[in-house]
Amino acid sequence: METRHLYDSSVVDMHLVVDWGNSRLKTGWFAGQDLIEVRLYESVEALLDDFIKRPVKQVLVSSTSRPAEEIRSGFTGLDTNVQILDSQTPVPIRKAYDTPATLGADRVAAAVGAVTLFPGQDCLTLDLGTCLTADVVDRESVFQGGLISPGIHMRFRAMHEQTARLPLVDVPIDLAEAWPVLTARNTRQAMQSGVLNGLAMEMNGLIENHRRERPGIVVLLCGGDASSFESRLKPPIFVVPELVLIGLNRILRYNVENLQANTPDVNA
């Protein structure tokens, strides 16, 4: 479990968002719009054990890999409203997407995070996770779609598994200090160069094309490998590691506010 920031149990308006990716659970503990703490968990059980010590009233779960109901069931008996983000969940953006039921919750959350931080502007989100996703949400808060491409580790595995002799290699430990040269002189480094320089060129090509089509578009980079690529992309670039969590929090608040607005006042 990894912890960042500080949880403040004295804050009344605390709520939790859960981004359940392909490897682990990333959680954001918010006070209103402010991100107070980020925690990473290896299992649902670890999250629930911790939650009991620090309960909140509202939880939103986004899952790209496992049934989110697994988390909801764990909250049974607790005084907590757990929402599951799916294609039917109201969100504060519109979707110009042919198959909204197949649109990943993480892509939606990143788009909502972008318009939360940069309202009224065209935004391109680049999320470097298991896959690279590159999506556009326009100045009218309409999700215009995007692309999905293999992520770093998937590219390394594919070269190893789909060939007879290429080794399984990985990212250098300190990528900032050991970025691979473009013209490598051994196979291992050539594979690292192909994946990392190739991915940087791919993203720069996307950025260039979107800037040509939408002058002034804001480019936001997020995901586990985002910081390693910041200096490799054409500025200006905004690196927002917690963009998906920010978007999930906005979606949670949006639904809570709508519920409150539509709840009759029994004292009226």
Q: Which residues are catalytic?
A: 106
- What are the structure tokens assigned to 1, written together? 């479990």
Question: What is the mean predicted confidence (pLDDT) over 207-212?
Answer: 98
Could you give the domains of the chain?
A: 14-84 (3.30.420.40), 116-244 (3.30.420.40)
pLDDT score, position 77 = 78
- What are the structure tokens assigned to 180, written together? 């691979």
- What are the structure tokens assigned to 154, written together? 């998937």
Q: Are 151 and 128 in contact (CB under 8 A)?
A: yes
Task: Name the pairing type of β-strands 218-222 and 142-150.
Answer: unpaired
97 marked among binding-site residues: yes
In which band, very low, low, confident or very high, does the pLDDT at 265 lie, cut at 50, 70 and 90?
A: very low
For residue range 47-76, list pLDDT tens digits in order.
Answer: 988 888 877 889 999 987 777 777 788 888
CA 98 – CA 95 distance, rounded (Å): 9
74 marked among binding-site residues: no
Residue partners of 151: CB distance under 8 A and separation at least 6:
128, 129, 130, 131, 132, 225
**Has residue 10 got a pLDDT over 60?**
no
21 marked among binding-site residues: yes
Strand partners of residue 233? none
More confident residue, 228 or 208: 208
CA 56 – CA 249 distance, rounded (Å): 13
